[in-house]
Chain A
Amino acid sequence: MQSVILKGHKDGYVINLKSNARFIDILRELTELFEQLQQDEKMNSEPLSFNITTGSRLLNADEKKKIEKIVSRFPLFSIHKITSEVMLVQDALEMIESKSIHLDANTIRNGQVEYIQGDVLYVGDLHQGGMLRATGNVFLLGKCEGIVHAGYLSNSEAIIVGDVHAAQQVRIADAVAIVAQEKIAKSKETVVFVNDLHVLDYTKHTEIKTIRPKLFARMGGY
């Protein structure tokens, strides 16, 4: 049985590594394949890049290194990317965490920090001295009198939507604004974002689509 198959696609060459084959066989067949290709005169004229798919097999770092080592022996060939149809449960959970909107109704009291991986729809009470901190966007429906931090640690694409006029501070990534100095109107439609000058700026919710079009592309799923 052949464990390495080369296919031509409209966007390039794909090498499929059979997921039920032994890795040792794959390495051997891969070497043979590249040697054949190199002898082929047509192939020998210009540099070539391959995509490698591994089916339902997940290569570890060590195995990837071994494949790269084989390819590096052939100066004209290179690997564009290695893809697989499967992923680790842990990675999958992390992805879900960071890509979904979490509903949060906890009261955040003075001195407490609520940390959320991903986006948050906050319907609780944020008291003075409390902090709501999310790696993604923050959508506020509840009372907000503390510190709201979106895009923690460095995601300045994140936005804060909701009534922040009574908050102590709004922060996005590393930008901070003291709300009392900003004269933010009392409105549920306020949007806080980092503008092109990397300064916190305020607008209305109707502008979200203009300032962050990517937000909507992502919300439908992945």
Chain B
Amino acid sequence: MGKAIVVTSGKGGVGKTTTTANLGTALALSGSKVCLLDLDIGLRNLDVILGLDNRIIYDIVDVAKGRAKLQQALIKDKRFEDKLFLLPAAQNADKSVLNPEEVKKIVTELKPDFDYVLIDCPAGIEQGFINAVAGADQAIVVSTPEISAVRDADRVIGLLEKESLSEPPQLIINRIRTHMINDGQAMDIDEITRHLSIKLLGIVFDDDQVITTSNKGEPIVLNERNPASQGYRNIARRMQGETVPLMSIASIEKKSIFSRLKSWFDKK
């Protein structure tokens, strides 16, 4: 029996969809069977980031309304053999076409066949959020080191604590810019974690490559050496029960100084 985990944030643009895609991929790479569920109905993106957008025939609304069977709508990502599947959102409807019971039914149907069912939640705390949370056993809250994102995360954690999830929500701090934290311009990771008072699942550094690879439909985790990729891989390993130390800002910074020096020498 798998675990259904909703990835949510409240605020838009903090990287929910990117996180869902990359965590799913990282989990699949390390041998778990994963199904990604896109609930951002009307503004679906998860399929695009995974490069699966041109293979959609049926979507979650078709399944919920009985127009298609669940197995027909699931899209298999061929890069990972039988490990990664996507149930795409509908594009020609809005969030209110689904109700929590329908989502719950689909998730319950998926759980026996997968190790992880990752639910990509839309921004906001309205119907879409309620639907996404309905089927979940656990929640991952994504935030960035910005006051607005943290404030929204706080609100969402409050809402999640009211839901009857079997485990307390966990936090991912995304898009961390090392130089800003070192300069003391951005919020500190410890400070955010302490403020939100939930367990920190992991941190992900901001990297231009994340956008580049997403544009190509290849999640960043496929690039092993990228720091953002390492962040996602570490989170996936923690989710699978391993103890992985938190990446330190210093190590990233050192590496970049080193690589900067290297490139400087290369130029000469």
Contact = CB atoms under 8 A, between A and B. Distances in A.
Interface stretch (B27-35, B37-45, B149-157, B248-256): B149-157
B179 interface: no
Contact of B155 (A107, A125, A129): A129
Contacts of B72: none
A128 B192 CA distance: 13
Contacts of B151: 110, 128-129
A125 B161 CA distance: 15
Given A128-B151, A129-B151, A111 B197 contact: no
Interface string B187-229: 0000000010100000000000000000000000000000000
Interface in B133-165: 151-152, 154-155, 157-159, 161
Interface in B157-194: 157-159, 161
Interface residues of B, number: 10
Contacts of B157: 109
B197 A125 contact: yes
B197 A112 contact: no
Q: Is the interface of A mostly helix, strand, loop or mixed?
A: loop
A128 B197 CA distance: 13
Contacts of A111: 155, 158-159
A194 to B, nearest CB: 30
B193 to A, nearest CB: 13
Contacts of B152: 110
A133 interface: no
With most chain B CB atoms within 10 A of its CB, the pick from A109, A111, A112, A127 is A109
A109 B168 CA distance: 15
A129 B154 CA distance: 9
B133 to A, nearest CB: 15
A112 B48 CA distance: 36
Contacts of A110: 151-152, 154-155, 158
Nearest to B147: A128
B107 to A, nearest CB: 26
20 contacts: A108-B158, A109-B155, A109-B157, A109-B158, A109-B161, A110-B152, A110-B154, A110-B155, A110-B158, A111-B155, A111-B159, A112-B158, A125-B197, A127-B154, A127-B195, A128-B151, A128-B154, A129-B151, A129-B154, A130-B158
Interface of A: 107-112, 125, 127-130
Interface of B: 151-152, 154-155, 157-159, 161, 195, 197
- Interface pairs A-B: 4 shortest CB-CB: A109-B158, A110-B155, A110-B154, A111-B155
